[in-house]
Structure 1
Amino acid sequence: MSTLTVTRRTRLSTVVLILLAPILIALIAAPWWAGRADLRLMGEIALYMSLATLWNLLAGYAGLVSVGQQAYVGLGGYLFFALTMLAGIDPYVALPLAALAGAVIAAPVAVLIFRLRGAYFAIGTWVMAEVFRLSFAQVSALGGGSGTSLSASIVRGMADGRAAREAMAWWLALGVAVLVIGAVVLFLRSRQGVALTAIRDNEVAARSLGIDIWRSKFIVYVVVGGLTTLVGCLIFLQKLRISPDAAFSVNDWTAFVIFIVVIGGIGTIEGPIIGTLVFFALRETMADLGTLYLIALGLVAIVIMLKAPRGLWGFLRDRYNIEIFPLSRRVTGLNKGA
């Protein structure tokens, strides 16, 4: 007799789930075994992984190819500085408030730029980022065009001692990375996520099935905007200084993120994670090459796009049929003797 069961789990995903707990415990304990420089690097990796995962949700699933996500990174940094330095709000309270404000601001931005399609949409997102940059450059209370530093009293108030502040910054970065990846997995497994995948695969067919395409994309854009704002807060909390050019840098917060997603595998959850690790491995080994480093990154991207158009993880998934975070359900059969 054959019993059929419907499940999302695979053998690999089960193994990864078992290993996830000790890995997380080891990462949480990093302040006790990692050096200060290693801790800052790991925090940067976690934040870039969050940015890449969010951009992948936007472009890889909702089909919204944005080249202006630096708008929300910079917005997050400036909102955090404004809430803590000008409004006197506790930094730990300012973080969720900034994320909420980022989502609220993303709503009218979405209504405006959703009127554009294709390349015009991408250009529109970049123009909005420039509007944000020029606007904050006029705020003299936050240093205008030259920027400002987070006051020492706020920095000291976050934790007692430099080591404790470094540990807190790492825990916040790790927590946001876990939050973002977990939220994306749960969202894509929900009914709304299934609708989003249907839109990505065939927008016309999705509309014929009654899926509200505009509403689905709007929700994704607003949520991604809010979470990207939160990541921006943590980026400049680590840096302790902000300026318009650094906050709204298209290279740092969009170009590198797109590179990460493309080489890792767009439209997959695992892709941005793999891509981030590859990007930082290349950066740490070739950063001393100067401008040749950027040329090398471009060559790596070209080779991967030619040899593995769906990215490194897409190549592995297609070749070996493996998934760490399976989204689709599958039917398995279990044969039993009569």
Structure 2
Amino acid sequence: MTTTRADVPQVTVTRWTRTSRVGTPAVLVLFVIMFALPFMTALSNVRSVTDLLIFIILGSMWNIMAGYGGMESVGQQAYIGLGAYGLVVLADQLGINIFLAVPLAGIIAGIIAFLFSFLAFRLVGGYFAIGTWVIAEVVKLIITQFPSLGLGSGISLYAMSAFDRDLRIAVSYWIALGVTVLALLICVLLVRSGFGLGLTALRDDPIAAATSGVDVSRAKRLVFVISGVGTGMAGAIIAISTLRVQPDSLFSVQWSVLMIFMVVIGGVGTIEGPIIGALIFWGLREALADYGSLYLILLGIIAIVFALFFRGGVWGLIQKRRRFSVFPTGYSTWFGRLK
């Protein structure tokens, strides 16, 4: 049989799929439309969507650390508190513009996360999780010793008093929207990079990753710091939204439980998963918050069911039926014929 050039298969490898070519522009258009939300709906709805954006940031940052870096922390509330208190110090006590104070608060949280990593990385598995929780409690105890920070009763944020109530709600929403876009962009770029491939290998088998040339300590530390920066900025947004910084609220372990819930429900180790998980949690909270303890019981049941039977989360279930992605983070191949 004679083989012609047309019979030779051609393999094309690309990051962009049919769905990501549609999904990525659609997400960008959605964010542009969302910028105008304060002019389109009631301010109560704007505040609610601000909470959703905070949830997306927190879920994405925990997922980057645990879903890709393999570090399952229950002490991320430390950086929420540090970001919130850092914002008060920067904006109120040092007079720095609120728009500049938010990223600076995140950077402060990241620097402290870098220092904590040398202690936390001595622990592995469950010990690491418990250790990060203990670190968060220690941070809380230290902060409550400073009279300038309100001791144990907390402190109010006065930097937003320059804005009237309506503008303050809109400004906090716009800041949350901007940080959300930045967080998702960092996640996508990180996963697309060669460093992201090393992270995936590290998560699956640290020893094998190390023998393949991945600097395990450096990779884990970088992800740990990035997560601290993003979580710190989320804490700063919480302070702007509530105008009050209270240690018992900000340093509560419930924040880490919330992050874990969103990522487990949405899908660990994916960009889309934490977004879906945040939407589910936010929707359940809005619909069932009036039911008190029953609402919390339902969340617990949902988390247990997904942890036992649907470990890939909602996004994993979607991928089983048809494999596609919203963001161009992986590789796909298609076969054709040379002409």
Give the TM-score normalised by structure 2: 0.94
CA deviations on 1:52-89 (whole Å, 9 max, x unpaired) are: 00001111110100000000000000011112222222
Output the CA distance in 1 between the equivalents of 2:61 and 2:48: 20
Output the CA distance in 1 between the equivalents of 2:36 and 2:337: 45
**2:296 equivalent in structure 1:** 294
CA deviations on 1:64-120 (whole Å, 9 max, x unpaired) are: 000000000000000111122222222222222212211111111001110011111
Equivalent position amino acid for 2:222 in 1: I
Output the CA distance in 2 between the equivalents of 1:90 and 1:269: 32
CA deviations on 1:279-305 (whole Å, 9 max, x unpaired) are: 111111111111111111111112223
Output the CA distance in 1 between the equivalents of 2:32 and 2:240: 24
Of residues 236, 244, 249 in structure 1, which corresponds to 2:247? 244
**1:177 equivalent in structure 2:** 180
Q: Residue 95 of structure 1 aligns to a residue in which SS?
A: helix
Equivalent position amino acid for 2:66 in 1: A
Counterparts of 1:189-338 in structure 2, within 5 Å, are 189-251=192-254, 253-335=255-337, 338=339
Contact 2:63 2:268 in 1 (8 A): yes
**2:28 equivalent in structure 1:** 21
**1:141 equivalent in structure 2:** 148
Contact 1:268 1:314 in 2 (8 A): no
User: Cα distance, 1:21 vs. partner?
Assistant: 3.4
Q: Residue 19 of structure 1 aligns to a residue in which SS?
A: helix
Contact 2:68 2:200 in 1 (8 A): yes
Output the CA distance in 2 between the equivalents of 1:306 and 1:65: 17
**1:72 equivalent in structure 2:** 79
**2:189 equivalent in structure 1:** 186
Equivalent position amino acid for 1:244 in 2: P
Output the CA distance in 2 between the equivalents of 1:38 and 1:91: 23
Output the CA distance in 2 between the equivalents of 1:305 and 1:227: 26
Output the CA distance in 1 between the equivalents of 2:307 and 2:225: 30
Moved over 6 A (4+): none
Equivalent position amino acid for 2:336 in 1: L
Q: CA RMSD in A?
A: 1.4
User: Cα distance, 1:34 vs. partner?
Assistant: 1.5
Output the CA distance in 1 between the equivalents of 2:182 and 2:71: 22
CA deviations on 1:99-152 (whole Å, 9 max, x unpaired) are: 22111111110011100111110011000100111111111112111112112x
Output the CA distance in 2 between the equivalents of 1:155 and 1:121: 38
**Is 1:86–2:74 an aligned residue pair?**
no
Counterparts of 1:104-183 in structure 2, within 5 Å, are 104-151=111-158, 154-157=159-162, 159=163, 161-183=164-186
Quote the sequence identity (%): 43
CA deviations on 1:275-330 (whole Å, 9 max, x unpaired) are: 11111111111111111111111111122233312111112112321222242222
Q: Residue 38 of structure 1 aligns to a residue in which SS?
A: helix
